[in-house]
Amino acid sequence: MLEGFSLTALLETWFATFGLEGPLATLIARSAIVVLILALSILGYFIAKRAIDTIAKHVVRRTKTTWDDIVYDSGVLNRLSRIAPALVIYFTNPLAIPEVEWLTVAIQRISIAYMIGVMVTVIDALLESANEIYMEHFEQAKQRPIKGYVQLVKIFVYIVGVTLIVTTILDRSPLGILSGVGALSAVLLLVFRDSILGFVSSIQLAGNNMVAIGDWIEMPKYGADGDVIDVTLQSVKVQNWDKTITTIPIYALVSDSFRNWRGMSESGGRRIKRSISIDLNSVRFCTPEMIDRFKKYMLISDYVATREAEIDEYNRAHGLEATDHVSSRRMTNIGTFRAYIAAYLRANPKIHREMTFLVRQLPPSPTGVPIEVYVFSNDQVWANYESIQADIFDHLLAVVPEFGLRVFQQPSGADVDRLAGSFASVRRES
């Protein structure tokens, strides 16, 4: 406070030398002081901003660390420069109308409230910087994001900031305001229901490592099938494969079920589970001619020779004649086909060698007997995975007839036409 000094009186004395006296001189003097204070506040802002743009920027860019660049780019220092005008007004305000004490006090309170608001925005920018530094410099950031916690701290900072602003302007104790807020806790719980649920859910998600940025998740209830691109205090954003964005309430990931494909990504393989239905009418014992032909197939030549010797030894040991087609053991075309599938897959460099490898026969059904392939590709990229899977079954479907088998297929329009044509030709012949 500049007590004992009146700039207004000084200006009035100076104006009197020019013959300007009375209320008009007082009005002009006070108007001039107000304009001067405003000009100084604006000048103070530009000086502070200029100092930050030159000195701080120069220092930050010369350091080897990157965290200070993030803090600077977030605008923390530029926001601090906004305090300068309020400081100028706070200290020079008593020069304008010192005799009206309530107005001086009111302007000073507003200045303090403004500075509190600026500090809240500074803390907001610092928290954003902390989140960005964490995401860029810590490996565990993708598995354990802190954005939800940062948003929770922001809410607390803004509540405290608003409380301090109101109590500063009204000249009341913050404890009185906060006790009043406590009485309205039920209303606050209703207003911040999603935030509270989100906070609790985010703790559960982070503690159990259930979902993280970059995970591929499926949640049909919300139409989500894609990569997690953002996890906040209230929601999880999923970019679907068609590039649409689905926003899921974060507490839904705790209360409802969803599928996370992270385990597949971390395993190094992606499952191929598909079957070919073989027509039961095409399953038969192998004839000597078929066995001789199978021996020419490089992938199963050793298998056929070993299997043939094993069966012959068994039949001799049990006194079974080769002509006894019922009691003796014999090779089947479907069993040889299963062996071929296994050999073909083992020779495929795109199949993972260390994960489950299974070629099995499922129970027969009205649509034939399914031969299921249950293996893992070593390429997890969706497009590549689909191509690998398609190439495998393209080959298997094409090679089925080589084993005297037929793929089961429901009758189509062409089959009905062919059957009708056969009946027509028989009728004409008769």
- DSSP codes of every residue in 189-205: HHHTHHHHHHHHHHHHH
Asked if 351 and 357 touch (Cβ cutoff 8 Å), the reply is: yes
Residue matched to tokens 């009043």:
180
10-residue stretch averages of pLDDT, the chain, 430 residues long: 52 58 62 78 84 75 72 77 84 72 82 89 86 75 70 81 84 68 61 70 71 86 89 84 88 84 79 93 92 93 92 86 76 94 94 91 92 92 91 95 92 70 67
Whether 348 and 320 map to the same domain: the answer is: no
Residues 310 and 352 in one domain: no
Q: Is 257 left (phi over 0), alpha (psi -120 to 50) or beta?
A: beta
Same domain flag for 20 and 77: yes
Domain-located, residue 191: no
What pLDDT is recorded for position 1? 44
Identify whether residues 216 and 231 lie together within a single domain: yes
For residue 217, what is the enclosing H or E element? Answer: strand 216-219
Domain total of the chain: 4
Q: 325 and 384 share a domain?
A: no
Q: Tell me, yes or no, whether 80 and 126 share the same domain.
A: yes
Judge whether 414 lies within some domain: yes
Furthest CA-CA distance within the chain: 143
**Rg, the chain, Cα only:** 41
The pLDDT value given to residue 2: 47
Domain region containing 213: 208-267
The secondary structure of 124-179 as a DSSP string is HHHHHHHHHHHHHH-GGGTTS--HHHHHHHHHHHHHHHHHHHHHHHHT--HHHHHH
Other Cβ atoms less than 10 A from the Cβ of 204: the count is 13
Q: Are residues 311 and 301 in the same domain?
A: yes
* 8-state DSSP, 52: I
> Closest by alpha carbon to 86, among 114, 105, 106, 109?
114
Q: In terms of domains, do 275 and 411 share one?
A: yes
Own/partner pairs, 114-118, CB within 8 angstroms, 24+ separation: 114/86, 115/83, 115/86, 115/87, 116/161, 116/164, 116/165, 116/168, 117/161, 117/165, 118/79, 118/80, 118/82, 118/83, 118/86
The answer to whether residue 43 sits within a structural domain is: yes
250 and 233, same domain (yes or no)? yes
User: Are 113 and 261 in a shared domain?
Assistant: no
Following CA atoms 46, 52, 58, 61 in sequence, which dihedral angle do they give, to the nearest 10 degrees? -130
Residues in the chain: 430
Residues 272, 294: one domain?
A: no
Q: Is residue 142 part of a domain?
A: yes
Query: Would you state the pLDDT for residue 190?
Result: 66
Q: Are 240 and 258 in contact (CB under 8 A)?
A: no
Whole-model pTM: value is 0.53
The pLDDT of residue 394 is 95
Euclidean distance between CA atoms 118 and 83, whole angstroms? 7
Q: How far apart are CA 280 and CA 365, in angstroms?
A: 9
**Residue ranges in 17-146 assigned as alpha helix (H):** 23-51, 57-62, 67-73, 76-80, 83-92, 101-137
DSSP string of 297-351, one letter each residue: STTTHHHHHHHHHHHHHHHHHTT--TT-TTTS---BHHHHHHHHHHHHHHT-TTB
CATH number for the domain spanning 238: value is: 2.30.30.60
Looking at the fold, whether 224 and 79 belong to one and the same domain comes out as: no
Backbone angles phi, psi at 361, to 5 degrees: -100, 125
Q: Looking at this protein, which amino acid is placed at residue 409?
A: Q
Between β-strands 216-219 and 259-260, what pairing exists: parallel, antiparallel or unpaired?
A: antiparallel
Q: From edge to edge, which strands make up the β-sheet containing 259-260?
A: 245-249, 235-240, 224-231, 216-219, 259-260
100 falls within a domain: yes
